[in-house]
A and B are shown apart, each in its own frame.
Chain A
Amino acid sequence: MINHLKKLLSGKNTIILVPYLWFILLVAIPLSIVLKISLSEMSATSVADMLSWSQGWPTIKINFASYLFLATDPLYIDTYLSSIKYALLTTLICLFVGFPFAYFMARAPKHLQPMLLMLIMLPFWTSFLLRIYAWKTLLVSNGIINNALLSFGVINQPLAMMNNSFSLVLGMVYSYLPFMILPLYANLSKLDVRFLEAAADLGASAFKTFWLVTVPLSKAGIIAGSMLVFIPAVGEYVIPELLGGSDTLMIGRVLWDEFFANNDWPMASAVAVVMMLLILLPISLLNSYQSGQAESKL
C-alpha cells in the first residue's frame, strides 16, 4: 500500500500535482460554485442550500428563476447587447487606428523600432486606473480640453464628452490599443517585402497590394489583436464605472451591482455564467478556425 503510494507520488506525478491542485482549488472549484449558486434560491439573508434532507432522503432543489429572470427582463438583454456593441466598436476602432500604426512601425528604420516598441509598452507599467482617471480630468465639462477649446474660441459652450458613450469608448480604445498593436506589429514585421514588390511589379496599385497581399498575410495578427481587445472589453468594469454614464450599460457593472448593492448572489452568478458563455463562444470559434488552418497546411 505504502509502496503503491510512493510510486504514485514519484517525481513526475508530484510535479504535475502541485500546479494541478492549485488550479483545481482556485479555478475549477470556484467556477462550479458559481454555477451551483446560480441555480440556487435566495432565502431571506443567505443562499438556500441546494441539497436538503427530507425524511431521510436527499432532495436537490434546482432553481432556474435567475436564468428565467435574465431571459425575460429587457434590462439584462439590453445590457448584454450593449456590452457586445461597445466591445465591437472598440475593437473596430483599435483595428482602424492600430493596423496602420503597426504597419508604419514595422516599416520604420530598423534601429528605431526597439524604441518605438518600448514607447508602446511603457504606459502598461503605469497604473491603468490612474490613466483612466486622467481622461476624466481631460474630458469633464470644465475639464482641460473644454477649457482649452473655449479659450481659443473654437466652441462657445463646453462639449458633453464625459459620462456618455463617447468617453466610454475612448477610454476602452485608449486602454486596449496596445493589445491590438503588439500582435499586429509582431506579424507585420515578419512580412516578406518581396511579396509587395512582386505585386507592384505586376502592376497592382498601392491600395490593391495592401488589400490583396498585406491584409490576407496579416490575418493571424488581425484575429489575435481583435480577440485581445474584444474579450476583456466585454466584461470591463472599471472603465464604465469611471468614464461611462447611467445610460451606457455594461454587463460587468451590472454583475458588480447585483452582488454588492443588491446582495443577490444567485442573480450575480447567473449573470456571470451567461457572460462566460458569451466569451467562450468567440474563443472556441477561433480554436476551430486555427485547427482548420493547421489541417489545411498539412
Chain B
Amino acid sequence: MLSPAFLSQLRRLLPPHCVLNEREDLLPFESDGLAAYRNTPDVVALPENEAQVAAILQLCHQHKVAVVARGAGTGLSAGALPVDGAVLLVLAKLNRIKSIDPLARTAVVEPGVRNLAISEAAAPHNLYYAPDPSSQIACSIGGNVAENSGGVHCLKYGLTVHNILKLRAWTIDGQLLEIGSEALDSPGYDLLALLTGSEGMLAVITEVTVKLLPRPERAQVVLAAFDDVAKAGAAVGNIIAAGVIPAGLEMMDRLAIQAAEAFVHAGYPLDCAALLLCEVDGINEEVSDDIFTVRKVLAASGAIEIRTAESEEQRLKFWAGRKAAFPAVGRLSPDYYCMDGTIPRGQLPHVLRRISEMSAEFGLPVANVFHAGDGNLHPLILFDANQPGELHKAESFGGKILELCVEVGGTITGEHGVGLEKIRQMCTQFATPELTRFHEVKAAFDPDKLLNPGKAVPELHRCAEWGAMHIHDNQLPHPELPRF
C-alpha cells in the first residue's frame, strides 16, 4: 500500500483528473491485453506532459516507490500488469504527433500516439511507418518501443528497432536521456537498441523519432493451398531461396483456415491442410516479376491451388481472413491462449507435429497461425476458463510449446515480450551467467529495481524454485543454486 503522504505529494504534481485511486476508476487498468493476469493498481498517474513524467519519477525514486509504465494496454505478456505498492504510469495522454518531416522521412511523436495514427498522418506525403503489429489500430508507439513490436511485414521491413532513430527517455532518478540522433548513427554504445524491447525496465520514454518509408507503388498477394503442412513449410524456404523477400509471408493450418473462413468468408479453400499468403510489394515491374517467380516456386513446391488476387478488393479479402484469425478462433472456443515462439523455419514441420501430439496429450485443440517468413509461430490453444483447471492446463501446454521452440534453436518470444507471462521460460532459454548479466544491465540504469519490478528477467532463485528448468544434453542449468 502507498502511504497517504506519498499520494498527497503525487496529487500535487498533477491536475486532479490525472490521478486515479478510486476502485471503479482503477479497474480498467487491472490487466493489459493478456486478461488472464489481473491486479488492481494502487494508484494510476496519467501525466499530460514530459515535465510531469519526470517529476513523478523523481518522487517515486525519492520514496523508493516502484513504477509500472503503460501505454495503450494492448500488450500480450502482462508486461503492464500493475504491481502492488507501485504507481501505474499511464502515458496515453502524451499523444501528440509533434512533427512530420516529409523530406527527411521522419516523424517525432509522443509515446501515447497510436501506431496506425503515424501512418495516417504520414499518408498525405505518400509515406508510412512500417512495423504493423496486429493491434496497430490501438497500440501505442511507446509500447511498441518497449516491446520491440513486429507485425506481418518484419522480414522485409524489420522490427521497431530497425525503424526508430531517436528517443527521449527518463531514468528512474529523473534524468533525461537523449538516445540516438537524427543522423544514422551516434557515438558510444547502442543504447537505442538496448532500450528497444526493454519492457519498461530501464527508462520511461517520452518521445520517439520514427523513420517513415515511401509507400510501395504496388502490393500483390498470392494465396496457395497445400495438402500437407510440411510442404507449405518447405515452400516458404524455397521462395526465399529463389531470391524473393516477400513483404508478408503468412501461414495458417486447417483449424485456423476453417475458423477464418467461417468468420469473414475470405474465399479460402477449405479442403487443405495449410494455406500460405505471400505478399510482394515494390515497384510495379518488380512486383510482376516477383509474382511470376513466387507462383512458379509454389507450384514446384507442391501447392494444390494457387490464386493471385485479381483486384485490390480481393487482396484485402485474402488478408481479412488472416487478420481476423484470432477473433475467428475465439468464436470456436470460450477462451484461447496465444503463444509467440520463434523457430528456425526449417524446424516448422517437426514443431507442428510435436504441437499436434501435445494437443492430444493435453486434450486441448490448437489452431496455428504463423508469420512464416520470419519463423514466428502463434499457436492458439483453445480452452474454457470456466472449466476448473483448464486455464492451468492451457498455460502448461503453452509453456511446453515455448520450451520446444528453445529446444529447436528458437526463442520463447518473437514479438510479444516476456512480461510476467513467460518469465518462467526465461529460465529455460538463458543460463545463470546471461541472466546475471541482464540483472546487471538493469542495475546500470535502475539499481533500486523500481521500474517494472518482477517482469522480463527472473530472479535466479525463482528459476530454481519454479523448477522451470530444461535439462539439455544432461546438463542441469544453474547447478550452483541450492534446491529444496
Q: A and B: real partners? A: no
Query: What residues make up the interface of A, taking CB atoms closer than 8 Å to B?
Result: none
